[in-house]
Structure 1
Amino acid sequence: MDNQSIAKEIIEKLGSKDNIAVINNCMTRVRVSVKNNDKVDFKNLDEIPGVIKVIKDDTIQVVVGPGKSKKIADEMKKLCGEISANNDEWKKTKESVKSKQSKFSSVLRRLANIFIPLIPAIIGAGLLNGIAGYFQNVYTAEGIKDMPMWITFFQTLGSGLFAYFAIFVGINLANEFGATPALGGVIGAITISGNINIFSKALGLYNAEVPLNSILIPGKGGIIGVIIGVAILAWVEKQLRKIIPDFLDTILTPMIALLIVGTLTIFAIMPFAGVVSDGIIKVFSFFIMSEGPMAIIGGFILAASFLPLLMVGLHHGLIPFYMVQLTQFGSISLFPILCMAGGGQIGGAAAIYIKAKKIKN
């Protein structure tokens, strides 16, 4: 079946386009929110040619494999036309499903919703940075000081996302938490503003000898600070709209919200998030980046827990931890450790295959 035919079948088994509220995708899955789960034919949805697996959740995940998820999701959007998630029936269904989930899985799902749209950009920018970094290291090792222009060009293309990652995350967070997207982006921008150093020095929070050990510097707390800030922003906006007259809402609500949350972000949230971020790094250093038994035990626990998270679509919730490591060390050691889960899966499959051959007759 071609992608359009698969898309038609999926829509039909989801209870028609009238039952679909939201269509998204990640690398391997089409993620769909429906208005009424009772109208979904889960049994036959799982048997559509081209569909690998269906995961029933508050967001139905139709696993179709890498490369196909985006194409099938696009075809579904074309076939469904303009759809609206602003539906009381859909909201009740969503809240009903969420109420049955554990808080941990709910948090990971929300984080996944925030970071999944950024994955293509992370991959594209990351690969360009990686290629440029590799050849820069090669030329440096050979004693070449003047780098070719193409390396600078690749770094320019690849660095934009990571330099302003907090802004992109802030916008997506606002969409998820119900805040104004542009204001979410502004909260992200505040955390990376160079002016933070001015406030830090004025308040005696700046460590001139080791700037990274300062209580307050640009980027302190990383993505964790942005998450907390935008969550508070969403709450503040809702409270302000209850008391500010409609004719003043457009002018006063954004200004007051930014004033309140921006102040909290700089002087309270960023230092607090910095402590949390430093704590996470210490845990990583103890379990992963050290030598000896603890590194082995930590790596085993992480690799063993990764595939269960992957199976239920919660693995994208780990992205904030990747970003904490990337910010602190310039690289992510979690990637090769979690990749061992795939190696273990292949080993397990090979063992079952050999055992099955022995008992086949």
Structure 2
Amino acid sequence: MDTKKVAHELVELLGGADNVVSATHCATRLRIVLNDDDKPNKEEIEELEGVKGVFKASGQYQVIFGTGLVNKVYAEFAQLTGVGSKDTDGGEKQVDHAQAAKKKMNPLARIARTLSNIFVPIIPAIVASGLLMGLLGMMQAFELVPPDSPWILFLDMFSSAAFIILPILIGFSAAKEFGANPYLGAVLGGIMTHPALLNPWTLADAEPETIQFIGMNVDLLGYQGTVIPILLVVYIMSKIERGVRKVVPNAIDLLVTPFVTVILTGFIAMLFVGPLGTLIGNGLTWSLDYIYNTAGLFAGLIFGGLYSTIVITGVHHSFHAIEAALIADFGVNFLLPIWAMANVAQGGAGLAVFFLTKNPKIKEIAIPASFSAFLGITEPVIFGINLRFMRPFIGAAIGGALGGAYVVFTNVVTNAYGLTGIPMFAIVAPFGMANIINYAIGILIAAGGAFVATWILGLKEDAEKKK
């Protein structure tokens, strides 16, 4: 295809280059922030060569091209609109894309996007730790090496490290997101996991030492593996750093600002915010655990059926924080298998659309979009296929609910977050063969249920689009 021609037509259908504020792309989508969201001609954009779907979410107008092709289209699009290019005054025409997108979100979506930006970069560390825990578990379960083997010692170190220093990882990432010095964020994480504090990650039954400080009883308890406390602390740190920098002369900023920021935030963290954040975090995770164990199958039915609807709003980006907290408190993530059922159900519904549609372009999109959902990437099939006709989206919700109910009923869990669909087998495996088999059965129920439900509901296509 002529990517230059497609990019030129896309710019025109978006309302012209002047309507484009900023643009970027991910693995499959061109993501654009516009001045006026009412100008784009959605129907005509959907008919462009190579376009697999169009939707508006998270403050961005998103056009799905698919892996590889999106890079080529973006390169032409950037030249035509000037995003990322230098203007005549030596500045960048492209403003910070993430900030531009955030300005167009509602407050709830903005919070969700912020949490996503903090936790997504940490996913590789969490997944690696989960897989290492699985390897350690298999070596111990099958007695592949003696219990006192150096293999056990090293793998235990490698697998637990990410969770022990989780506040440092979150501190660095959160500080970047909040516009503060990321290294100061890491320092605050280091303070909260200092060796002088009792490590609850490895010494869960031990009692921390209590000291008297300015008339207050302070427990010397560390925050290894916690999530909420460091998020609150770094947010406060970003405000303090910004406020101090406003009043400190530039000549001594490098000396004074970090010193004042760390000492003030450090005391606030240890005396107030840390204990409060722990209470909030524990309350959240224990509440979810109570719902999971009490509502059981019904909880899976509701969460599995509604998850894809939550994806449309963008609020699902905040779930990484909750899942990280679950792993820290209980050692397992029981939410991710439910989300996985909703995702593969979208793929099952997309496959049904392939057989039901008479539109050759929809057929062309349906197979790769559905396969993408089985690998955990659902945007192409949700926005390019299922939500476009609505009935398949409803069919997918039914499949997700059935699959979600099954994985909750059979207690399917993982030890990480960030992977769904077929790749999630890697973080399901550490909990044994029964966990693997039940996860596989859940996939079949979710995808099969969505396929059948979509087939029964049928497909109502626009007569003109059939032609």
The interval holding the TM-score normalised by the smaller chain is: 0.7 to 0.9
Q: Cα offset for 1:264?
A: 0.8
Q: Cα offset for 1:325?
A: 0.8
TM-score (norm 1): 0.73
Give 5+ residue unaligned stretches, structure 1: 206-213
- Say if 2:229 and 2:273, in contact at 8 Å, map to a contact too: yes
Greater mean deviation of Cα atoms: 237-246 or 77-86: 77-86
Q: Cα offset for 1:20?
A: 6.0
Name the structure 1 match of 2:450.
348
Hey, what's the Cα distance between the residues in 2 that align with 1:235 and 1:219?
22
- Say if 2:126 and 2:162, in contact at 8 Å, map to a contact too: yes
Q: How does 1:54-73 map to 2 (within 5 A)?
A: 54-63=55-64, 68=67, 72=70
Q: Which amino acid aligns with 2:458?
A: A
Q: Cα offset for 1:239?
A: 1.2
Give 5+ residue unaligned stretches, structure 2: 86-90, 200-207, 346-398, 401-446, 460-467
Q: Which amino acid aligns with 2:132?
A: N
Greater mean deviation of Cα atoms: 329-338 or 163-172: 163-172
- Alignment match of 1:244 (pick from 231, 248, 253): 248
Q: Cα offset for 1:272?
A: 0.4
Name the structure 1 match of 2:119.
115
Name the structure 2 match of 1:132.
135
Name the structure 1 match of 2:314.
313
Name the structure 2 match of 1:260.
264
Name the structure 1 match of 2:275.
271
- Alignment match of 2:236 (pick from 232, 236, 259): 232
Q: Cα offset for 1:89?
A: 10
Hey, what's the Cα distance between the residues in 1 that align with 2:64 and 2:157?
34
- Say if 1:21 and 1:34, in contact at 8 Å, map to a contact too: yes
- Say if 2:117 and 2:177, in contact at 8 Å, map to a contact too: yes
Hey, what's the Cα distance between the residues in 1 that align with 2:167 and 2:118?
12
Hey, what's the Cα distance between the residues in 2 that align with 1:21 and 1:254?
33
Q: How does 1:272-351 map to 2 (within 5 A)?
A: 272-288=276-292, 290-291=293-294, 294-342=295-343, 343=345, 344-345=399-400, 346=447, 347-351=449-453
Q: Say if 1:153 and 1:24 are closer, same or farther in 2 by CA, change over 3 A.
A: farther
Deviations 1:197-249 (A, max 9, x none): 49x624279xxxxxxxx965212681111111111111111211221112111
Matched, 1:161 2:162: yes
Name the structure 2 match of 1:177.
178
Name the structure 2 match of 1:201.
209
Deviations 1:130-180 (A, max 9, x none): 54134224324x79435584x766666655433333222222211221111
- Say if 2:54 and 2:61, in contact at 8 Å, map to a contact too: no
**SS state of the match for residue 167, structure 2?**
helix
- Say if 1:233 and 1:261, in contact at 8 Å, map to a contact too: yes
How many residue pairs get matched?
Answer: 332
Larger radius of gyration between Structure 1 and Structure 2 = 2
- Say if 1:21 and 1:85, in contact at 8 Å, map to a contact too: no
Q: Cα offset for 1:115?
A: 1.9
Hey, what's the Cα distance between the residues in 1 that align with 2:154 and 2:320?
27
Q: Which amino acid aligns with 2:211?
A: L
**SS state of the match for residue 55, structure 1?**
strand
Q: What's the RMSD between the two structures over aligned residues?
A: 4.2
Hey, what's the Cα distance between the residues in 2 that align with 1:96 and 1:82?
19
Q: Cα offset for 1:32?
A: 3.8
Hey, what's the Cα distance between the residues in 1 that align with 2:71 and 2:221?
41
**SS state of the match for residue 203, structure 1?**
strand
The percentage of aligned residue pairs carrying the same residue is 22
